[in-house]
Amino acid sequence: MVFTILPDIVRPNLREKMKAIRIVLSTVLLAIAGILLVPAAASAEPVKIYAALGDSSPSGVGADVYKSPVGVNVGNINMSTYEPATVTNQCFRNNNAYPRQIATAKGYDLKFVACSGATTQDVVTGKSGEPSQLDALSSETDVVTLTVGGNDSGFIGVMQCIIAQNCVATNPTVQSAMSIVANDLPAKYDSLLGKIASRAPNAKIVLVGYG
C-alpha cells in the first residue's frame, strides 16, 4: 500500500474542488427530491359512452336540420347541413337533437340510433332498414336515454284530433290512446328496460318524456 502526501500547495486546490463537488451533489439531490415530491398529474377520465334510443323525439324531428333520408320529401326544411344519406337512413336523425346537444356539452361518445316512428318493439327489432337499437349497447355503455311509447299509443292520431280541435275525452282516438297508455305500455316498458339493462348492465338508464 502506497501513501502519497500531497504538497501544501496542492491541498487548498483539492479542498476547493471537493467543496464544489459537494455543492453540485447537493443541488442534484435537491432537484431529484423535488421531482419525487411533485404529485403525479391526475389521469384523464375515460370518455363516457352514451346511447340515445327511441323515436322521433330523440331523433330530433322538427329541430330543423336532418340526416338526409333517401327518397323522402321533407318539404320546406333547411337541409343545408345534411349528414351523408344512405338507403337505410329513414330515421330523420337531426344534428340539433337533444342527444347530440348532451353529447357535445358532456364530451360523451354518442351512439345515436333513435329512429322516427319507432315503437317499443322497433327499438328491439329495428326500423326503416336499420338493425336493433339495442345493438348500440354493451357492457361499456355508461349512459342510455330512452324516449318511446308515443307511437305505441297512437300519438299521431291524437295530434291530428288536436289540430282538428275535436280531441275530447269521448273521441275514439283519445280513448284508445288512454287505454294503451294505462294497460299496455307498462308491460312493454318493463320488457324493454329489462333488455336494455341486460345489454348495458353498467349503464345509467334515463327515461326522457315528451315535451
- How many Cβ atoms from other residues are within 10 Å of residue 57's Cβ? 22
Residue for cell digits 415530491?
37
Q: Which of 46-60, 125-139, 151-165 has the lowest mean pLDDT?
A: 151-165
For residue 168, the one-letter residue type is V
What pLDDT score does 199 carry? 97
Mean pLDDT of 155-178: 82
What pLDDT score does 18 carry? 55
Mean pLDDT of 55-70: 71
Rounded percentage of the chain residues whose pLDDT exceeds 90: 43
- Does pLDDT of 186 surpass 70? yes
What pLDDT score does 174 carry? 85
What pLDDT score does 122 carry? 97
Instruction: Judge contact between 114 and 142, C-beta under 8 A.
Output: no
User: Dihedral (C-alpha) 158, 160, 166, 168: value to the nearest 10 degrees?
Assistant: 0
Question: Can you give the chain as a three-state secondary structure string?
Answer: CCCCCCCCCCHHHHHHHHHHHHHHHHHHHHHHHHHHHCCCCCCCCCCCEEEEEECHHHHCCCCCCECCCCCCCCCCCCCCCCCCCCCCCCCCCECCCHHHHHHHHHCCEEEECCCCCCCHHHHHHCCCCCCCHHHHCCCCCCEEEEECCCCCCCHHHHHHHHHCCCCCCCCHHHHHHHHHHHHCHHHHHHHHHHHHHHHCCCCEEEECCCC
What pLDDT score does 121 carry? 97
Per-residue pLDDT reduced to its tens digit, 7-60: 444 445 555 655 555 554 455 445 545 545 555 555 678 899 999 999 999 998
What pLDDT score does 141 carry? 98
Cell reading at 126? 329495428
What is the spatial distance between Cα 148 and Cα 67, in angstroms, rounded to a whole number? Answer: 20
What pLDDT score does 76 carry? 46
What pLDDT score does 160 carry? 83
Instruction: Judge contact between 114 and 91, C-beta under 8 A.
Output: yes
Rounded percentage of the chain residues whose pLDDT exceeds 70: 67
- Does pLDDT of 4 surpass 50? no
